[in-house]
Amino acid sequence: MTSQRSLPRTSEPSRNNLLVLLSGEASTLPEAEARALILAQDTSAKIEKPEECVLVAHTTASPEAIAKRVAFSRRVGELITEEDLGEIVSARLRGSTFRITVFHTRRGRTATSDVIAYVASKVHGEVDLESPDYEITVVCGGLNYYALTKPKLMRQDWIRRRPRGRAYFHPAAIYPKLSRCLVNLTRVGAGEIILDPFVGTGSLLLEADIVGANAVGMDVSRKMTLGAIANQRKFGQEWLGVIQSDSRRIPLRTVHSIVTDVPYGRASSTTGSATSALMDSLITQSVGLLERGRRLVMMHPLSVPAPPSHDFEIEEQHQLYIHRKLTRAITVLRRA
């Protein structure tokens, strides 16, 4: 008797419910960053924000991959139901250590001690309060949300890479968390090429390298170019290179993403060019550098808006208050 050989089945990645606890910055950036990281992995993800600081996604995206990259979130993990807080979660934790951590939104009214006592009565395993393998994260808001997270993945050593801790310091340097967020907004993937045409001290490329992108920078100033290279070497990173060149003549053929802080004011080297002219030139050149659907993320003064372009659509815009004389705009442009 002969039997038909069945064709191998192609299994789609399983979808799970993912919870992101956003940080409390008074800005639209935390939510935008989390959404960008989810959609970079799964363009069909269904994302909701049921209440303040809580993002829930039905997606194939990996919570571990997002936790390793995200800057402006406090926890990322697999959302679990209250019904699963017994045998199912206990089985998942077998052979691993865990702790219980409770966060409150403004709507949260349940006492922390009551929440911990309730979860502890349901879940059994070895507890480690200092450095557990897992954490049962509880967010108390209008509803209670439970998630299984790995906080150790989110340790990013931000302080070590602060501007004052680098080999070369400049007062206009961007702090690591904001730099990482801007890189994440481009949705650049590991192994892809990301360009910063105004590299300065290399703040953005330091974070791009950590998330696995191939970093390349440019700056018209020789001093800045050498400073960026010094910072790259201090942290043992391998960029594709740093080019001393005018941003109005980018000597590259193609990249996957572009991210930059457009220079302005006396502290930056603009060789006399107005910020608006630099932005216009960058957008014009980016048409030939980026494929359709790829992104250019620019941080610039709010008083100098991104010039219109038929080749780019403004996907998002965010504002970041610096002081009473300066508010920065962050514009995400998608190649049409």
- Asked, colleague to colleague, whether 16-154 and 159-335 share their fold, the answer is no
Query: Of 137, 18, 124, nearest to 74 (Cα)?
Result: 137
DSSP characters for 63-95? HHHHHHH-SSEEEEEEEE-GGGTTHHHHHHTTT
Bridge partners, 140 (sequence order): 104, 144
| pLDDT value at residue 12 | 63
Give residue 325's pLDDT band: very low, low, confident or very high (50, 70, 90).
Answer: confident
Question: What is the CATH code for 159-335?
Answer: 3.40.50.150
Rounded CA-CA distance 203/170 in Å is: 10
Question: What is the CATH code for 16-154?
Answer: 3.30.2130.30
Rounded CA-CA distance 309/300 in Å is: 17
Domain ranges of the chain: 16-154, 159-335
Q: Which two tokens stand for residue 135?
A: 């954490």
**DSSP 3-state assignment of 32?**
helix
For residues 152-157, average pLDDT: 95
**DSSP 3-state assignment of 256?**
coil
Residue of higher predicted confidence among 170 and 6: 170
CB 331 within 8 A of CB 314: yes
Consecutive H or E run containing 148: strand 144-149
Consecutive H or E run containing 297: strand 295-301
Rounded CA-CA distance 195/66 in Å is: 22
How many Cα atoms within 13 Å fall on the side-chain side of residue 108? 20
- Alpha carbon distances (Å) from 35 to 43, 286, 310: 10, 24, 25
- Distance in Å from the first CA to the final CA of the chain: 58
pLDDT, tens digit, 9 for 90 and up, residues 250-308: 999 999 999 999 998 654 555 546 899 999 999 999 999 999 999 999 999 999 999 99
| pLDDT value at residue 3 | 36
pLDDT, tens digit, 9 for 90 and up, residues 209-241: 999 999 999 999 999 999 999 999 999 999 999
Q: With 0-12 CB in 10 A as exposed, 13-18 as middle and 19+ as buried, what is 28?
A: middle
| pLDDT value at residue 234 | 98
Q: Which two tokens stand for residue 300?
A: 């610039």
| pLDDT value at residue 106 | 87
Give residue 8's pLDDT band: very low, low, confident or very high (50, 70, 90).
Answer: very low
| pLDDT value at residue 322 | 83
Q: Which two tokens stand for residue 130?
A: 């200092």
pLDDT, tens digit, 9 for 90 and up, residues 55-87: 999 999 999 999 999 999 999 999 999 999 999
Query: Which residues touch 289 (CB under 8 Å, ≥6 apart)?
Result: 195, 250, 252, 253, 254, 255, 258
Query: Of 136, 194, 145, nearest to 17 (Cα)?
Result: 145
| pLDDT value at residue 201 | 97
Q: What angle do CA 255, 291, 334 make, to 5 degrees?
A: 100
The structure's pTM equals 0.93
pLDDT, tens digit, 9 for 90 and up, residues 94-107: 999 999 999 999 88
Query: Of 165, 177, 168, 93, nearest to 135 (Cα)?
Result: 93
pLDDT, tens digit, 9 for 90 and up, residues 13-55: 788 999 999 998 878 999 999 999 999 999 999 999 999 999 9
For residues 139-156, average pLDDT: 96
| pLDDT value at residue 272 | 46
DSSP characters for 318-329? EEEEEETTEEEE
| pLDDT value at residue 6 | 37
pLDDT, tens digit, 9 for 90 and up, residues 47-58: 999 999 999 999
| pLDDT value at residue 267 | 47
| pLDDT value at residue 5 | 39
| pLDDT value at residue 238 | 97
Rounded CA-CA distance 242/192 in Å is: 16
Give residue 11's pLDDT band: very low, low, confident or very high (50, 70, 90).
Answer: low
